Structure 1
Amino acid sequence: MGILNATPDSFSDGGKYIDVNRAMDRIHLMLRNGAEIIDIGGESTRPGADPVSVQQEMDRVMPILEEAIPVFDEVIFSIDTTKFDVAKNALESGAQIVNDVSGLSKETRFADLCAEYDATYVLMHTQGDPKTMQKNPEYDNVVQDVTVFFEQKLIELGKKGVRKVILDPGICFGKTLEHNLKLIAHLDKFQKFDLPILIGASRKSMIGKILDGRPTDGRVIGTVAIHYHALTKGAKILRVHDVKEASDSIRIFNAIQSQQ
């Protein structure tokens, strides 16, 4: 899953792909490098980020989706949003996935929407919202707490008729470094749900903390290392900025797995 941030303030690539032509060039490049899903978002979810209005988010993402989907008609497009109107318009334009970082907490109607459009819903765990989520997050047992969250929300989604769900434990969304490491180390615990597991640790702050304050552009190898470990624990989707490096690591992983 290649990341396309149509935002001025995302932590790694803010401001680069707001222009439709530059966004299209970026999509072309990610697809050439091995992306199978393009995840487009118009609101930064970095720690401390301010929310934007529905109209502002629509103005950022819809021109790109409306331009890209007819051109790349065999590509899966995902809309990264917590807003109902943004998701609905994206699905009407041909997007197939709703990637909701709030885990149904901001917009419960996403379940009905995904059922109506037979869309895939990315169920991500978070604690708090981007503005406050990194202010002293606490858990009794982070792996168990996320498991219970998935259990409860999957019941809710099932009652609404959502047939396709991807699980995302929400790395760096309301978690300390220790919480993140525990989730990645025990990612295989979530295989019991028999659903695809998505991991998004690309260039995130946890890598910078492990690597003595490394800035975002120096976190690519750290990202590959975390994601490769996640593959060994059952992850099926990697959400990344650096598509070529991620694609290469998946090809190596699959080659080794084929001999087991």
Structure 2
Amino acid sequence: MQNISSSINEHSLNCNGTIVDLSSPKIMGILNLTPDSFSDGGEFNNETSAIKHAEQLLKEGAEIIDIGPQSTRPNAEFLSSKEEIERIGKIISLIKKEFPEALISLDTFYAETVKFGYNEGIDIINDISGGQFDENMFKTAAETKLPYILMHVNPTYETMHDKIKFQDITLSVNQYFSEKTKQLLEMGVNDIILDPGFGFGKTVEDQMKLLEEVKYLGFGKFPLLIGISRKSFIYKPLGKSPLDINEETQKLHQKVLEQGAKILRVHDVAEAKKTVEEFLNKGRIISGMPF
């Protein structure tokens, strides 16, 4: 990371005046504040445990911490924005005070939660709804001038996990990205990150196809975030638990990095860090660059 300058290239993000260079992939560590997330529910939903976990994520190599006050797994408890804000409390500002170099991403589909998070010091908005669950989200994102993670998802909260068999999943996701990024850019959101939405309303077959075609998503105009950590489309076909698929997940991480993914959203930061380092080392060997 470096201080803000006048030139921002297509592989950078302006996070509250800090320029984040994405020429090397970044790791986003997941910090769930929820009691009902599918693999770590209830572990970090108080200030002490949340800050301790944030410290661990940073030590293991995360540069971004993604704070989630609400679970979006199937059949999860639905929270209002007010309830999200109450659950977050002072956790964002405390992490910022303790670890000022850490970038904080806030995982919410509510504009009011974003406003609260912005005042507490967040650096990135991570909206799983693509602005579809709150009509004020895009406007609020533009007002904050923060980078915005645009995820592909079905149009409503109630249908977000309904499995759809797309005629061409990559084409459908790109059409969605094209429409939404046009809206965002017109409203003044300049830093957009694309998330294909693994685990949301897609068949196993379509998700595997997407993994093979990551390089075509967004036509190279925007950085890509990939979030496949502990997702059921990986562990269920293997008859394994979400905590028992690290080897398979890292192989898939390697695959998406080779296709240009810039951010990996993960639970297991240390393992993902090794994968990123292997990817970068392989690139240096191929290019003949010194270590």
The runs of 5 or more residues in structure 2 that have no matched partner are: 1-27, 287-291
Write the deviation string for residues 175-211 of structure 1: whole angstroms up to 9, x where unpaired. Answer: 0101111111100002524211000000110111231
Write the deviation string for residues 45-75 of structure 1: whole angstroms up to 9, x where unpaired. Answer: 1122231122221111232112111221111
Distance 1:228 1:107 in 2: 34
Write the deviation string for residues 77-105 of structure 1: whole angstroms up to 9, x where unpaired. Answer: 00000011111110111101110001111
Provide the residue aligned with 2:70 in structure 1.
43
Moved more, 84-93 or 213-222: 213-222
Moved more, 243-252 or 111-120: 111-120
Q: Which of 217, 234, 249 pairs up with 2:275? A: 249
Provide the residue aligned with 1:149 in structure 2.
176
Distance 1:64 1:225 in 2: 33
The aligned runs of 1:194-205 (5 Å cut-off) are: 194-205=221-232
8 Å contact kept, 1:124–1:169: yes
Distance 1:191 1:149 in 2: 10
8 Å contact kept, 1:8–1:18: yes
Provide the residue aligned with 1:119 in structure 2.
146
Write the deviation string for residues 206-241 of structure 1: whole angstroms up to 9, x where unpaired. Answer: 111231x21111122222121111111111100000
The runs of 5 or more residues in structure 1 that have no matched partner are: none
Provide the residue aligned with 2:38 in structure 1.
11
Pair 1:229-2:255 in alignment: yes
Moved more, 177-186 or 105-114: 105-114
SS in structure 2 of the partner of residue 167 of structure 1: strand
Identity %: 38
Distance 1:190 1:136, change over 3 A: closer
Q: Which of 57, 78, 96 pairs up with 1:69? A: 96
8 Å contact kept, 2:81–2:110: yes
The aligned runs of 1:136-175 (5 Å cut-off) are: 136-175=163-202
Distance 2:50 2:75 in 1: 25
Letter in 1 for 2:32: N
SS in structure 1 of the partner of residue 89 of structure 2: helix
Provide the residue aligned with 1:80 in structure 2.
107
SS in structure 2 of the partner of residue 143 of structure 1: helix
Distance 1:108 1:128, change over 3 A: closer
Q: Shift of the alpha carbon at 1:113?
A: 1.8
Distance 2:282 2:199 in 1: 29
Distance 1:208 1:128, change over 3 A: farther
TM-score (norm 1): 0.95
Provide the residue aligned with 2:134 in structure 1.
107
8 Å contact kept, 1:97–1:119: yes
Distance 2:269 2:120 in 1: 25
